Homo-oligomer: A and B are copies of this chain.
Amino acid sequence: MYDRIKGFRDFYPAEMQARRQVFDDVEDTVRAYGFREIDTPTLEPAEMYIDKSGEEIVEELYSFEDQGGRHVALTPELTPTVARMVVAKQQELSKPIKWFSTRPFWRYEEPQQGRFREFYQTNVDIFGSSEPDADAEILAVAGDMLTNLGLDQSDFEFRVSHRDILGGLLETFDGDIDVREAIRAVDKSAKVEQAEYHDLLVGAGLSYEQAERFDELLDVDEANLDELIEFAGTERIEDAVTNLQNVLDAAEDFGVREHCTLSLETARGLDYYTGVVFECFDSTGEVSRAVFGGGRYDDLIESFGGQPTPAVGFAPGDATLSLLLQRAGVWPEEALSTDYYVLQVGDTRDVAARIARDLRASGNVVETDVADRSFGAQMNYADSINAETVVIAGERDLENGEVTVKDMESGDQTTAPVDAFPGEHDRPTYDDFA
């Protein structure tokens, strides 16, 4: 009668249980590093994105005028919001500020595999440190997150680049070059043919020769990064190369170096990045797009009216992350789990409800009949929710002061004294009474 809106998703319990486990694992990793949860509005002033986010996001913005005449937008990304929040309490917050949050975002894109109009991201950011250690900690928490989800080193790689190397190289070329436009071309380089990539660079103001030279330079080996300094001869490139090397050294100490490969062709789509940027890729290439990315954005807080505050972060999204976990065979099982079903036969609701309450009090997931169903219907239901143990409160058993305890996997059953169930047991099983 009413249809779900295109690009939006309904999550039913079995799939949601798997998603919840992944969200929890991600957040447990992030919390272990001392990132603190925040929560943020769904609507923000549309101008915030028009001013800050770059044209790609603005084209895809869900924006409208609210009943009070405000031009508002459904948040397409978190960074402008956290920048606003940092600026609002800059004096009170002790630095570095380490925040995370998991929530949905919205972009009016064409839905496809791994892309929806409503998607979830866990945003993880450090504000207030320009040190390479902060970049490395972001790489480390990202790497730990993936290994804690069950991936191993051969499953993924972080392609690490540096915006200032890209920008610094571009400014060495003669001509009227639109650096933002050229960096956006780099961001697309992996997705298009080389000729088209060069055309995009030419569109940004490079000559074809410059485009080819630039392309070659970005192909440099990690061992030969100094060649870029020699080529450019500028302090900017020297600083950027040194910074990149320092981040990789810190990544070594932080235990994440093994996941990192140099890849100057990686640029990230958003305009506000300033230093190290990285993208996570499926090593097998089966998931062809970047799984997620992140990087340093040192100028954003100041551009929001705050004091200069360096920042670095990353943001895994649910749709691509699930593709990678599925590809690697570590996506959690999509199935319900239930500790007990307390089955009622005859007028035994008072006993069944008491047993259910006691079992819940020790932390178990327990259902009992709320629909006045037959023995068979209740047993089928218990099976459908994967109940491990069924406790049968039957009128006749109860006359003898007993309930029946049935192990659903083996099918074995035995009786237990109703007064001792669960008694001292936090998690009584068939074996406790057989």
Interface residues, chain A, with chain B CB atoms under 8 Å away: 1-6, 8-13, 16-17, 19-20, 31-34, 36-45, 47-48, 62, 64-68, 70, 72, 74, 80, 84-85, 87-89, 94-96, 98-99, 104, 106, 108, 118, 126, 128-129, 131, 133-134, 136-137, 144, 250, 253-255, 304-305, 336, 338, 349-350, 353-354, 357, 360, 363-367, 369-372, 380-381, 384-385
Contacts and interface: CB of A to CB of B under 8 A. Distances in A.
B38 A13 contact: yes
Given A8-B41, A32-B360, A131-B372, 12 more contacts: A1-B84, A5-B43, A5-B44, A10-B41, A11-B39, A16-B36, A16-B38, A19-B39, A32-B364, A32-B366, A43-B62, A94-B380
Nearest to A108: B67
A405 to B, nearest CB: 18
A13 B36 CA distance: 6
Given A4-B41, A33-B360, A250-B349, A369 B133 contact: yes
A365 B31 contact: yes
17 contacts: A1-B304, A1-B305, A2-B80, A2-B84, A2-B304, A4-B44, A5-B41, A5-B43, A5-B44, A10-B85, A12-B89, A20-B37, A31-B365, A34-B365, A133-B369, A133-B370, A253-B349
Given A41-B8, A250-B349, A33 B372 contact: no
B370 A131 contact: yes
Contacts of A9: 39, 41
| A34, A36, A41, A62: most-surrounded residue (chain B CB, <10 A) | A34
Nearest to A312: B370
Given A104-B42, A134-B370, A305-B1, A253 B11 contact: no
A412 B94 CA distance: 25
B99 A13 contact: yes
Nearest to A73: B5
A284 B88 CA distance: 37
A254 B368 CA distance: 11
Number of copies: 2
Contacts of A85: 10, 12
Contact of A370 (B2, B65, B129, B381): B129
Nearest to A10: B85
Nearest to A310: B371
Given A40-B10, A42-B104, A74-B42, A32 B137 contact: no
B37 A16 contact: yes
Given A2-B304, A13-B36, A39-B19, A96 B370 contact: yes
A78 B42 CA distance: 16
A44 B137 contact: no
The 6 closest A-B pairs by CB, nearest first: A64-B64, A13-B36, A34-B367, A8-B41, A129-B371, A1-B305
Nearest to A138: B370
B338 A118 contact: no
A395 B372 CA distance: 71
Contacts of A88: 4, 10
Contacts of A66: 5, 62, 108
Nearest to A28: B363
A253 B108 CA distance: 51
A2 B45 CA distance: 7
B42 A106 contact: yes
A68 B110 CA distance: 11
A4 B305 CA distance: 14
A133 B349 contact: yes
Contacts of A134: 370-371
Contacts of A304: 1-2
Contact of A42 (B67, B99, B118): B118
